[in-house]
């Protein structure tokens, strides 16, 4: 008889809720087979149980018992305590998926004190609307079957790419933090719209549709961004005038430096965490 898929979440925050929502919308796992626990926020567990009909408990042992897959979805500062709390109840035939930034699969295996299959994942906050860009990476004990299962799981909240674990810092700097860069762009465009006399609501609609249309052009035409940019830019026209100002202020260089710095910070945090100096 095929074993019923039981999925356990350690942590009950926004990412856990986004994944649960995606799973249930796609019918990936039935709600009665999804178990959630957290550190001490009982009201949060009660809300998830009521809204999604999943099983919530403060009992860590019962939550992870017989679970095929355990998802570690806590803040980095809470990860070590959370892992220590479940380590005695983890078996080597279970898989553990971590969405905790900066914590390596080797470190997780050491805390578990057994060769458990670990897969790391880096989704982003767009998971809340089913549009996450997620990268996953297998640890040394994870099988191809483990990896493909994780891929199907995260496809319930968006698109998925598979990378080597050493690339996850770069993924964090690019797409993990990426929504914030886009929101910052939108903030700037909305401020500019107000400055040139556009109504706030009108400007917001125009900006959002411009973003959606540009993303769809990139996706559907398969053209690279540079080609599409050149198609919009007529010599001596309004777009060229605007782009010349962006070049003057080193817009592209600033964005590249931003992503590099975010990547470096991910590496710093990962090292600090494993050296037990993260705050």
Write out pLDDT tens, residues 138-186: 999 999 999 999 999 999 999 999 999 999 999 999 999 999 999 999 9
Among 194, 107, 177, 106, smallest CA distance to 135 is for: 177
Residue 3 reports pLDDT greater than 70: no
pLDDT tens-digit readout, 40-53: 888 999 999 999 99
What's the chain's average pLDDT?
93
DSSP 3-state percent helix, strand, coil across the chain (nearest 5)? 60, 15, 25
CA distances from 87 to 58, 84, 106, 250 (A): 16, 5, 14, 49
Which of the four pLDDT bands, split at 50, 70 and 90, describes residue 2? Answer: very low
The residue count of the chain comes to 279
Structure confidence by residue, pLDDT tens digits, 206-235: 999 999 999 999 999 999 999 999 999 999
Look up residue 235 and give its two tokens: 């010599």
| 67 and 122 share one domain | yes
Structure tokens, 182? 């886009």
| φ/ψ (deg, to 5) at 152 | -65, -40
Give the residue among 59, 77, 75 at the shortest CA–CA distance from 67. 59
- Integer Cα distance of 233 and 4 in angstroms: 56
* Enclosing domain of residue 138: 7-169
Q: Clarify whether residues 236 and 115 are in a common domain.
A: no
Q: Which of 169, 187, 207 is the last residue of a domain?
A: 169
The structure tokens 């540079």 sit at: 226
Q: What is the distance between the alpha carbons of residues 134 and 121, in angstroms, rounded to a whole number?
A: 7
The answer to the question of residue 1 being in a domain is no
Does 147 lie in the same domain as 193? Answer: no
pLDDT single digits (tens) 243-257: 999 999 999 999 999
Residues 132, 196, single domain; the answer is no
Same domain (yes/no): 47, 88: yes
Which residues face 229 on adjacent strands? none
Please indicate, yes or no, if residue 278 is contained in any of the structural domains.
no
Least Cα distance to 4 among 66, 53, 63, 91 occurs for 66
Share of the chain above pLDDT 90, in %: 86
Using an 8 Å Cβ cutoff, are 249 and 255 in contact? no
The last residue of a domain, from among 108, 140, 169: 169
Q: Are residues 116 and 193 in the same domain?
A: no
**Same-domain status, 148 and 68:** yes
Do 187 and 150 fall into the same domain? no
Whether 164 and 243 share a structural domain: no
Query: HEC profile for 256-270?
Result: HHHHHHHHHHHHHHH
Residue 50 sits in the same domain as residue 147: yes
Residue 141's pLDDT is 95
Percent of residues, the chain, with pLDDT higher than 70: 97
pLDDT on residue 1: 34
Q: How many domains does the chain have?
A: 2
């Amino acid at each position: 008889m095929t074993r019923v898929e039981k999925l356990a979440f350690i942590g009950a925050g926004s990412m856990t809720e986004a994944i649960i929502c995606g799973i249930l919308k796609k019918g990936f796992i039935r709600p009665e087979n999804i178990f959630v626990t957290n550190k001490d926020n009982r009201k949060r567990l009660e809300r998830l149980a009521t809204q999604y009909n999943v099983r919530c408990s403060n009992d860590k042992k019962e939550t992870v018992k017989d679970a095929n897959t355990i998802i570690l979805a806590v803040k980095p500062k809470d990860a070590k305590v959370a892992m220590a709390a479940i380590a005695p109840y983890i078996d080597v035939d279970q898989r553990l998926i971590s969405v905790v930034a900066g914590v390596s699969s080797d470190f997780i295996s050491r805390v578990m004190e057994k060769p458990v299959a670990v897969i790391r994942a880096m989704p982003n906050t767009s998971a809340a609307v089913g549009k996450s860009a997620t990268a996953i990476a297998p640890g040394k004990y994870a099988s191809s079957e483990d990896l493909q299962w994780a891929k199907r799981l995260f496809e319930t909240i968006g698109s998925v790419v598979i990378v080597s674990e050493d690339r996850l810092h770069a993924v964090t700097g690019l797409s993990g933090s990426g929504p914030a860069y886009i929101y910052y762009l939108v903030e700037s465009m909305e401020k500019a719209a107000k400055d040139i006399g556009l109504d706030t609501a009108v400007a917001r609609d125009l900006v959002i549709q411009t973003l959606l249309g540009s993303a769809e052009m990139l996706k559907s035409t398969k053209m690279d961004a540079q080609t599409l940019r050149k198609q919009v830019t007529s010599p001596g026209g309004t777009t060229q005038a605007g782009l010349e100002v962006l070049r003057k202020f080193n817009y592209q260089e600033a964005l590249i430096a931003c992503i590099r710095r975010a990547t470096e910070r991910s590496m710093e945090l990962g090292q600090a965490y494993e050296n037990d100096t993260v705050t």
